[in-house]
Structure 1
Amino acid sequence: MILAGVLATTTYSFTRSSLMQQREKAEINLAFANARRVQNDLLADRTAIEIALNQVGDSHRLLYMDGKWTGTSQMFTESAIPPILKDQVVSQRKAAIMTTSVRNGQALIVGIRLERINATYFELDNLREVREALRSVQIALFFSAFITIMVGFGLGLFASRRAVRPLANAAQAARAIADGSLDTRLEPTDDPDLQVLTAAFNDMVSAMQQRVERDARFTSDVSHELRSPLMTLAASVQVMESRRDELSERSQAALDLLVGDVSRFQGLVEDLLEISRFDAGAVRLVKEPLVAHEFVRQAISVSSMPKTEVRVTADVESVVIRGDKRRLARVLANLIDNARIHSGGRPTVHVQFAEEDEPIGNIWIIVEDNGEGLIDGEAEKIFERFSRGAAAGKRSGQEGAGLGLALALEHITLHGGRIWAENRQDGIVGARFIVEIGIEVPA
């Protein structure tokens, strides 16, 4: 842009200077020719000044002879001649040329001494053709500069986008990988400067994918290997439970701890198997239409707290959602278990439309408890794997392994919904977990 402006200004200045030089040279030649003709006419008849001046063309002329000024135009009088020019020609008897300002702009005045008739001849050129030519040049340069700037801007934008496109592609690929798409790769390029970067990036992602898959296989293999001995252990515990009355009080207390730990261990193994299936991308949804409030009531009835109160707003009683019944029920069961562990009393479940500032066409399933609530920063970490919040470090036989909420997040994300946690908004101390899922619109 700056270069185009500089070039346009330089071109205009050069053109103006060239035109003025040419015009000055032409005007000097014309003025001397006209002056000689006037002088010759006045040598024949000294009194015919006006006739002599009017016979030498259409320029503005002025003659000073015998102490009198005679001109051909009212705009070109003695007052229009700069004093410096008048002094050089009249007093110093030298031919001179000068550019001066007149009513219509700048003009060129040539002064010539006519010695043979003892007079001074002045001729004015208003430079109209020069001004028109310069105006045309200005317009042409303006549009040329504008077009140059636009073309330069377009080429610069194209070049910059082409230059940063590999970085944008890398950033997009990095975001996709961060979102879990580990099969994302950068496209091969012919640019030798980018080939090394592309190859290194793809190799890094491949290595990371292999590591994740290896870890997932390890988790899955370990979980499968643990299932059989766990089943044997659980069966043995059931036998011991059946003969509980034969045990001492101390042995019964130990048995209770063993029953709780075995149950928790079985849940952990099942959760690990489920997590490994998510990591391997092997989870497939079996969707079916579900009447929202009926499904929620049914899922709660088979949870660890079947008498949990369910509150349904009137406007969602006929709302239908489409989802995997087993997985959504697992989400609600996990949320109820979480509320049971952390709440000081029974949780409450609400089914309602999403609030006004949320996307239209979604419903909320809210599980509220009246426990201690969430501390600062806990809402962001609570859905991480093996995150147990305030239950970490405690041993009561009822706390989970920290995978329930992580699995709930995976299930809801797979349904295209959202789940988050926050403190209650009704002034009561406690937390609430909100599941947002889209409703099925009738065809």
Structure 2
Amino acid sequence: MSQPLEGSEVHRPGLHSRMWERVGSRTRKLKLRTRFILAFVLTTLVLSGLLTVAVFALTRQNLLDGRENDALATVGFNASSVSRRLRPETGSEALQNLVNTLATPEGSRPVLRVGDDWFQQSFEFESGNINERLRRTVESGRPAQMRYRVRDKPFLVVGIPIPGLNASYYEATPLDEIEDTLGSLGIILAGASGAVTLVSAGVGFWASRRLLRPLVDIGEAAQSIARGNLSTRLEAGTAQELVALTDSFNTMVGALQNRIARDERFASEVSHELRSPLMTLSASVEVMNTRRAELPERARTALDLLTEDVNRFEHLVEDLLEISRFDVGTAELDPDLFTLLEFVQNAVSISSPTDIPIICDPTTARVRVRADKRRLVQVIDNLVSNAQKYAGGATSVVLMRRGREIEIIVEDAGPGVAAEEREHIFDRFSRGRQGGERGASTGVGLGLALVAEHVRLHKGRVWCENRPDGRSGARFVVRLPIVVP
């Protein structure tokens, strides 16, 4: 089996695709406004970068071409002058004087080779600084030019052979001035590109706010409606393109508000209408119970079932009336100031036929709260009754203080509540997985819904969790703020 060579890159299928998937997922997590600004800035950065590179390259080429043309003209003139004045019998002193008198308008450094002798005007550029490849090309009889650095200084070196005399003429033109000019130009262009990018970021931020403001308004309106504020509406604004969307949104919210209002009025009116016949029915059942001893066995059984269902129906109507008050927004708190431990003890004794231990540390025992007693009694009664129906009764009620909040915890030793049902059991008419096992004595799924509504009215929250000791059972936690004078 062949092995990859050391240092070679091994291609792994799917590696690049996974990398781009991760990049794409991170990009999707960014906010729309951030992505808009990034796209704006990146586009400007790319365009300004391309423009900077193009301007720099063109300027550099023009400056170098201009200096090269001037240098070639000077070198050609000086080479012609040397060729005319050079004779085989010319001595070394005359040759040096000839080199010293050559014109150097660009500050160039002439170097003359005659046979094996070299003559230069300046020691800044000497014969030893001539590139070997350039020298071989010129000595072969062809003119040549080359750009390179000597002692960290850029030069354009041009060499021209002088035929018939075994001589060649070189001239080195310094390019440091052009290099300094290009360096300054590069700094200016980079600064201008950065400034343009920053300006584009500001413009992109302003444009994103202006363009995405309607979407932000729609999102805020949707959140407000989700929180129950059905009076929220969108303003049409000046954008004609959004008029249809705004009108449709407002129409939809209006229709939803009317539908919910009709449903709430219907539930409230039905509950009120049921109270009168229910009271008559309850009175009739009570009268029948007073003559219970005179009834035959089968009639007594039927009367017991009727009494139980009437009582259940009575609780259902009361719960529906209570919920309708929350729906129509008429539910209000009637707060009192009291010691929580004493209150919970009384509420638990009323709600449970058996003694339930109440666990409370000395610090929490002195906590006084301001709350609606009637609603808090109903919260405790529903939680204790719920434990009695589905878990064989509550095992303990715990009071625990957490900073500026107080927790009322009802624990049981039943089968517990499945994790996927812990949120839904506080929905109306939700009875969980035991709904099909209920008998006539069980409720209809409004108890925990009322608990959630009462706690929410107190600006608290309620949830269900497992017992912290690892035992079987459920743990219902009511957390309320401690509001004291």
Scaled to the shorter chain, the TM-score interval is: 0.7 to 0.9
| 1:435 aligned onto 2:481 | no
**Does 416-425 or 404-413 show the bigger shift?**
416-425
One of 451, 454, 459 as aligned partner of 1:411:
454
| 1:279 aligned onto 2:356 | no
| 1:12 aligned onto 2:92 | no
- Checking the alignment, whether the CA contact within 8 Å between 2:370 and 2:484 is kept in structure 1 is no
Amino acid corresponding to residue 481 of structure 2 in structure 1: G
- Checking the alignment, whether the CA contact within 8 Å between 1:300 and 1:306 is kept in structure 2 is no
Alpha-carbon RMSD: 3.0
- Residue 307 of structure 1, CA deviation: 3.8
Counterparts of 2:296 and 2:166 in 1: how far apart (Å)?
151
Q: 2:117 aligns to what?
A: 68
Amino acid corresponding to residue 417 of structure 1 in structure 2: G
- Checking the alignment, whether the CA contact within 8 Å between 2:160 and 2:168 is kept in structure 1 is yes
Structure 2 vs 1, CA of residues 48 and 315 (structure 1 numbering), >3 Å: closer, same or farther?
A: farther
- Residue 40 of structure 1, CA deviation: 8.7
Structure 2 vs 1, CA of residues 347 and 184 (structure 1 numbering), >3 Å: closer, same or farther?
A: farther
Q: 1:127 aligns to what?
A: 175
**Does 107-116 or 314-323 show the bigger shift?**
107-116
Amino acid corresponding to residue 442 of structure 2 in structure 1: E
Counterparts of 2:445 and 2:238 in 1: how far apart (Å)?
48
Q: 1:357 aligns to what?
A: none
One of 289, 292, 306 as aligned partner of 2:340:
292
- Residue 406 of structure 1, CA deviation: 0.3
Counterparts of 2:426 and 2:54 in 1: how far apart (Å)?
67
| 1:217 aligned onto 2:261 | no
- Checking the alignment, whether the CA contact within 8 Å between 1:340 and 1:347 is kept in structure 2 is no
Structure 2 vs 1, CA of residues 117 and 288 (structure 1 numbering), >3 Å: closer, same or farther?
A: farther
Q: How does 1:50-199 map to 2 (within 5 A)?
A: 50-55=96-101, 56-57=103-104, 58-65=107-114, 67-82=116-131, 85-86=134-135, 92=141, 96-112=144-160, 120-199=168-247
One of 234, 256, 259 as aligned partner of 1:208:
256
Question: Which ranges of structure 2 fall in alignment gaps of 5 or more residues?
Answer: 1-44
Counterparts of 1:201 and 1:133 in 2: how far apart (Å)?
62
- Residue 27 of structure 1, CA deviation: 2.4
One of 390, 395, 415 as aligned partner of 1:372:
415
Q: Which digits, 9 at most, give the CA deviation of each residue in 1:122-143, with x for residues without a partner?
A: 2212201011011111111222
Counterparts of 1:185 and 1:22 in 2: how far apart (Å)?
69
Q: Which digits, 9 at most, give the CA deviation of each residue in 1:337-369, with x for residues without a partner?
A: 211212324542111134xxxxx4322111112
- Residue 227 of structure 1, CA deviation: 0.9
The two structures have a TM-score, normalised by structure 1, of 0.87
Amino acid corresponding to residue 15 of structure 1 in structure 2: T
Structure 2 vs 1, CA of residues 240 and 206 (structure 1 numbering), >3 Å: closer, same or farther?
A: same
Amino acid corresponding to residue 121 of structure 1 in structure 2: Y
- Residue 154 of structure 1, CA deviation: 3.7
Amino acid corresponding to residue 322 of structure 1 in structure 2: R
Q: State the identity %.
A: 44
Structure 2 vs 1, CA of residues 181 and 304 (structure 1 numbering), >3 Å: closer, same or farther?
A: farther
Q: How does 1:284-433 map to 2 (within 5 A)?
A: 284-305=332-353, 307-354=355-402, 360-393=403-436, 396-433=439-476
Q: Secondary structure, in 3 states, of the residue corresponding to 2:426?
A: coil
Structure 2 vs 1, CA of residues 199 and 105 (structure 1 numbering), >3 Å: closer, same or farther?
A: farther
Q: 1:254 aligns to what?
A: 302
Counterparts of 1:394 and 1:42 in 2: how far apart (Å)?
123
The two structures have a TM-score, normalised by structure 2, of 0.80
Q: 2:47 aligns to what?
A: 3
Q: 1:244 aligns to what?
A: 292
Counterparts of 1:165 and 1:347 in 2: how far apart (Å)?
55
- Checking the alignment, whether the CA contact within 8 Å between 1:113 and 1:121 is kept in structure 2 is yes
Q: Secondary structure, in 3 states, of the residue corresponding to 1:326?
A: helix
**Does 124-133 or 333-342 show the bigger shift?**
333-342
Question: Which ranges of structure 1 fall in alignment gaps of 5 or more residues?
Answer: 355-359
